[in-house]
Structure 1
């Protein structure tokens, strides 16, 4: 073995041992979360509603908010998700401790269909585990981010170690010898499956890093735009607190909603923010498709007057911003529909297996005589 490969092998080994547990948790929870919408639709009947035979508009946010306030007076409204014409509308609220709740309502009748404590919701817990390991966000997010960065290095060094030196070795390197001893099968599961899943795993890792680190997102934005910057699409407007304004004649959330419906009539899903402070603009998003987050028109409104401060239609965005918008759909695979989700699921599952098979390889080598151990490649995770 060359000195270069020995160094790469040691780096691969110790980085893998140090980050393996976090990579396993993040990958496994990612695999589970991939099909969360499909599983929720199959197990939570309140997510779907019957569309009226006669064309009927959705109830305005103020009406849905009043119904929720009557049923749950202790909770403070945070934002709405109008999920689509055949889906319930969800009002997210918080309690005094800052814990989130979700109230699903029929957007045509206002009937409350479900009320969830998101602190106890299975997929909310899986998401928190995936992103923060159930730790405080500042700590957990950093631990996960560093582990994913290490995982990217692991994928690259793993390919270097796997790459066959001779053409005659390539067929053996691409197949798993199921009839061999368990150590050989474990080695093949680690190296062969790792090679096949490397591209998908790398894509999942990089899109995850775009969510974790601003510098990664900015770098992708910079490269995608060939070095050009478009500050107008990235900078939110400010609220002039010195200017006297007149409050809207109707509830301000209704005012936002009606303007969005006029400006983005084809939108199937709407994120409707609510004023949090008279000094901050209210951010809203209109999505072209329900449960897809790529094609989006963005709006900023005045928190008191309801005036439209800024609109960023999807068509006007730069390539870098469009890539940032599609990042979540890339990360979950849903940008390619069901096939993409299956690929993301399998890639996440293989990624979760790599720390396990890598650890077993390292542990097995420790149990062997020194002479035999010295002849093997030091590879883990």
Structure 2
């Protein structure tokens, strides 16, 4: 098939398929279709990865006990659990020389093992599991190579580090274009009824049937897909960090000191009174990725800590430090004391305690339950047990509160199994959308051509759509650069044939 014939075929088909819901092609239809095609061409392969990895991660509470049953699950016994201090001592004895205890994972589920996270001499992290009733070591797991951690890194950055993180951010942004143009293409016109617009027409055959399924499925999933994108963007590596900074600057995020700026300190009994509890001196920056220096020191942020779950609002929080004028003059409190203190404050189950690894370090308690209103992050002086900082949901600004709810819903945690099923249905539906879109393209694919929908000879101004794309490009600068690149590529490369065809006609 020649390129000219291919263009004529696509142009004729655009007029035919445009009438599926509207009865006739409307001005701007092919322009919208063309942008929908480009967005889908880029997004769909990654959408399959996001759908599969997201569905798996959503069911983490059910999957991990199946994968690691001998480590995570124990037989409940009628005897009391061993003290946390005893279990930690046994965990330390089981780890290789040079290992440092980082985190205590606190659970009171009688069927779950006790978990402690260690940093090994080579800088990697490893979890060790013990039977809480007799102290037997059940096994270890690499934190970095744990199945759900690998799945999470695939979902966030395709295991490609920072480039992959930026790529997935672009995918999320271009999904917004795909959703917007898809709704516009579907929008009923003329005599099209709600039933014809919302339900597939199974009486059709061939590509029209696939198009009907794709359109109906897309409109039902549009709201869920939009929710996934908007709740996932705050966690992205580029725009997400800028969004946190904006929330802080506008006082819509966490209160002052939560995301940095205050180096909280405490003094030992007998220390001079002018040792302030809160210092306005900015904390120095620690080197990210240097796990060997991760000692709960000023300058480290919460995202550097080995917390499997932590509130988004506390993601950039400077970790405060205990100030000791005479190291060793007072024995640090044990993890058991911190567990008892947390229980007295209403935190009894499903949280993590980051241990101080230096004389000036503090205990950090991270509580991230399914209900965002119960989120809490505590910084506790390792000597006196004084609460240096108590960050609660009520302290968050409007943006931080919205992000917390969005995250809980995005991960399928907010309303239990029903939330998980809903997220899985949306994710797998988006995967089906990618498959149907690919089938539609395959059935009309021209030879030796990309197969983009033909251009309109006299496209309308479409000022609203252009303004929308410009706005997206301003809000998401990384996407704005790619929008310009795609437009130039479309005009300079793929548009040559169409311009030649128009001149010939």
Question: What TM-score, normalized by structure 2, do the two folds share?
Answer: 0.63
The correspondence of residues 97-176 of structure 1 with structure 2, limited to 5 A, is: 97-136=122-161, 138-176=162-200
Quick one: structure 1 residues 350 and 222, their matched pair in 2 at CA, closer, same or farther if it must change by over 3 Å?
A: farther
Query: What is residue 284 of structure 1 aligned with on the other side?
Result: 365
Per-residue CA deviation, residues 336-358 of structure 1 (Å, 9 max, x unaligned), is 21111111001011122323322
Matched, 1:38 2:62: yes
**Which sections of structure 1, spanning at least 5 residues, go unmatched?**
377-381
Contact 1:237 1:281 in 2 (8 A): no
Contact 1:190 1:354 in 2 (8 A): yes
What is the rounded CA distance, in whole Å, between the counterparts of 1:278 and 1:145 in structure 2?
40
What is the rounded CA distance, in whole Å, between the counterparts of 2:439 and 2:48 in structure 1?
14
What is the rounded CA distance, in whole Å, between the counterparts of 1:286 and 1:34 in structure 2?
19
Query: What is residue 242 of structure 2 aligned with on the other side?
Result: 215
What is the rounded CA distance, in whole Å, between the counterparts of 1:168 and 1:99 in structure 2?
60
Quick one: structure 1 residues 236 and 51, their matched pair in 2 at CA, closer, same or farther if it must change by over 3 Å?
A: farther
Contact 1:221 1:323 in 2 (8 A): no
**Which sections of structure 2, spanning at least 5 residues, go unmatched?**
1-24, 266-320, 457-505
Contact 1:77 1:94 in 2 (8 A): yes
Query: What is residue 86 of structure 2 aligned with on the other side?
Result: 63
Which structure's CA Rg is the greater one? Answer: 2
Query: What is residue 343 of structure 2 aligned with on the other side?
Result: 261
Q: Please give the secondary structure, in 2, of the residue aligned with 1:77.
A: strand
1:321 CA displacement: 3.3
Of the candidates 116, 125, 129, which is equivalent to residue 91 of structure 1? 116
1:253 CA displacement: 3.7
What is the rounded CA distance, in whole Å, between the counterparts of 2:225 and 2:126 in structure 1?
33
Of the candidates 428, 438, 442, which is equivalent to residue 363 of structure 1? 442
What is the rounded CA distance, in whole Å, between the counterparts of 1:51 and 1:350 in structure 2?
40
Quick one: structure 1 residues 285 and 108, their matched pair in 2 at CA, closer, same or farther if it must change by over 3 Å?
A: farther
What is the rounded CA distance, in whole Å, between the counterparts of 1:114 and 1:250 in structure 2?
29
Matched, 1:349 2:428: yes
Query: What is residue 8 of structure 1 aligned with on the other side?
Result: 32
The correspondence of residues 224-243 of structure 1 with structure 2, limited to 5 A, is: 230-231=255-256, 233-235=258-260, 237-240=262-265
Contact 2:34 2:454 in 1 (8 A): no
1:94 CA displacement: 3.0
Q: Please give the secondary structure, in 1, of the residue aligned with 2:415.
A: helix
Matched, 1:244 2:325: yes
Contact 1:233 1:317 in 2 (8 A): no
Q: How many residues align?
A: 365
1:123 CA displacement: 2.3
1:335 CA displacement: 0.8
Query: What is residue 76 of structure 1 aligned with on the other side?
Result: 100
Quick one: structure 1 residues 112 and 306, their matched pair in 2 at CA, closer, same or farther if it must change by over 3 Å?
A: same
Contact 1:217 1:324 in 2 (8 A): no
What is the rounded CA distance, in whole Å, between the counterparts of 1:215 and 1:294 in structure 2?
24
Matched, 1:185 2:209: yes
Q: Please give the secondary structure, in 2, of the residue aligned with 1:209.
A: helix
What is the rounded CA distance, in whole Å, between the counterparts of 1:126 and 1:220 in structure 2?
29
What is the rounded CA distance, in whole Å, between the counterparts of 2:390 and 2:136 in structure 1?
33
What is the rounded CA distance, in whole Å, between the counterparts of 1:180 and 1:271 in structure 2?
56
